[in-house]
């Protein structure tokens, strides 16, 4: 009987050591670094098809929370892809994104789901094609995901973000008048630190 009670007390003590890591205290700020995938919808306008190869990149995010449920984030993302305009050009492009969004989150014990909506500037920087110049296009960004607590400060973030924007024209006369709305899906996963 004493041995059984000692084992139960020991198990209870071990279990209680894990509780601080699971409890989420309210922190006003966090920072994440995530690996992203970039998947752009193929579009066609007046017979000219624009397709983009799938690519990968990196995303850095800083968030500031006004209270437990609402906050604001700023992001910088980078990917490298090829914009293909069938019959006209294939353009090696470095894509930089700078965005800001309002964040609505729902803290729970082990995880925190969230949703976001905001605006972005998509900078398309072409390389290897004479006469092509950089374009900066505005975009609408939306998304959601969840943060999974690993410790009191460290967490794993899994997220999806979508972007609606116009395809880049690179100031090429061959592409004038062929601007079209497209969509980029951007799933990501990475680690964060709250403070």
The count of other CB atoms within 10 Å of the CB of residue 87 is 9
Confidence of residue 33 (pLDDT cuts 50, 70, 90): very high
Task: Report which of 176, 180, 144 is spatially closest to residue 159, judged by C-alpha positions.
Answer: 144
Q: What are phi and psi of 179, to 5 degrees?
A: -70, 140
Task: State the CATH number of the domain containing residue 15.
Answer: 2.40.160.20
Q: What is the DSSP letter of 70?
A: E
Structure tokens at 7: 């084992």
Of 18 and 125, the one with more pLDDT? 125
The domain in which residue 20 lies consists of 2-194
Place of tokens 């690993």: 150
3-state secondary structure of 151: coil
pLDDT given for residue 74 in this prediction? 98
Q: How does pLDDT run across 34-72, given as a tens digit for each residue? A: 999 999 999 987 778 889 999 999 999 999 999 999 999
Number of structural domains in the chain:
1
């Amino acid at each position: 009987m004493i041995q059984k009670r000692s084992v139960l007390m020991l198990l209870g003590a071990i279990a209680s050591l894990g509780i601080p890591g699971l409890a989420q205290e309210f922190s006003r700020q966090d920072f994440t670094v995530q690996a992203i995938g970039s998947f752009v919808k193929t579009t066609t306008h007046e017979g000219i098809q624009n397709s983009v190869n799938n690519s990968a990149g990196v995303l850095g995010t800083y968030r500031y929370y006004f209270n437990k449920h609402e906050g604001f984030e700023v992001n910088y993302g980078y990917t490298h892809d090829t914009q293909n305009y069938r019959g006209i050009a294939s353009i090696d492009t470095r894509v930089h994104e700078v965005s800001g969004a309002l964040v609505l989150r729902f803290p729970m014990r082990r995880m925190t789901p969230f949703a976001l909506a905001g605006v972005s500037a998509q900078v398309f920087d072409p390389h290897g094609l004479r006469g092509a110049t950089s374009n900066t296009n505005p975009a609408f960004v939306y998304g959601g995901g969840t943060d999974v607590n690993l410790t009191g400060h460290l967490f794993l973030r899994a997220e999806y973000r979508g972007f609606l924007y116009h395809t880049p024209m690179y100031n090429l006369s061959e592409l004038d008048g062929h601007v079209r709305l497209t969509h980029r899906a951007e799933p990501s996963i990475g680690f964060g630190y709250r403070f």
